Amino acid sequence: MHRPTLITPPDVLPVSLAEAKLHLRVDHDDDDTLIEGLIRAATDHLDGWTGILGRCLVEQEWRQDFDTFEPSLPLALGPATSIVKVEAGGQAVDQAIYTLQTDAAGMSRVTFTEQLQGPVSVTYKAGYPVEDGKAQIPAALRVAILLLVGHWYQTREAATAKSVAELPYAVSALIAPYRRTGV
């Protein structure tokens, strides 16, 4: 299994500028660019392949490539919501021969009813849905992002190496149930 490739990034951030400003008690527009940057940094810290959660926050499209076929192929990122397409040996695979399965831990796999030849590529959507322009992420993850934004907004300069490397305890506690520990 190769590193997944982002095909289509999310349309919205998991937390809006208005939500962050309300959390920060900021009622002016002077720091909007800074606050948006902090939201993006907090999102990048948590989201996607390089994020510490190992999952997608807002619905986005990824491609997972495999060198060889297996009857059940793990998807690196979740929560997987749908399979866009599967290709084997460079040819499209009929969707009637595969299904998306997600276990209780949120780990998703594509399972096949027929043997395929060659390398396999799975393009899929993962992340929480967007409704009415707002990401429907769990409340704990929303609060964790707001706490990170607040922490970084109040502490704009690097402190000690130890304090920069560690997440605030409340953030760690809020994200703990959502961290993926392996594929």
Question: 98-153, pLDDT tens digit by residue?
Answer: 999 988 877 899 999 999 999 999 999 999 999 998 999 999 999 999 999 999 99
Query: What's the CATH architecture for 14-56+131-178?
Result: Orthogonal Bundle (1.10)
**Residue-wise pLDDT tens digits, 68-104:** 999 999 999 988 999 999 999 989 999 999 999 988 8
Angle between helices 32-46 and 139-154 (to 10 degrees): 130
String of b and e for 137-160 (b: at least 16 CB within 10 Å)?
beeebbbbbbbbbbbbbeeeeeee
CA–CA dist 183, 181 (Å, integer): 7
pTM for the structure as a whole: 0.85
**Residue-wise pLDDT tens digits, 144-157:** 999 999 999 988 77
**Residue ranges matching CATH 1.10.3230 in the chain:** 14-56+131-178
pLDDT grade, residue 164 (50/70/90)? Answer: low
pLDDT grade, residue 182 (50/70/90)? Answer: low
Residue 124 corresponds to which tokens in the numbers above? 């899929």
pLDDT grade, residue 159 (50/70/90)? Answer: low
Residue 15 corresponds to which tokens in the numbers above? 């937390």
H helices of 12-138, in order, are: 17-24, 32-46
The pLDDT of residue 132: 92
CA distances from 13 to 37, 96, 116 (A): 11, 34, 37
CA 140, chain centre distance (Å) = 15
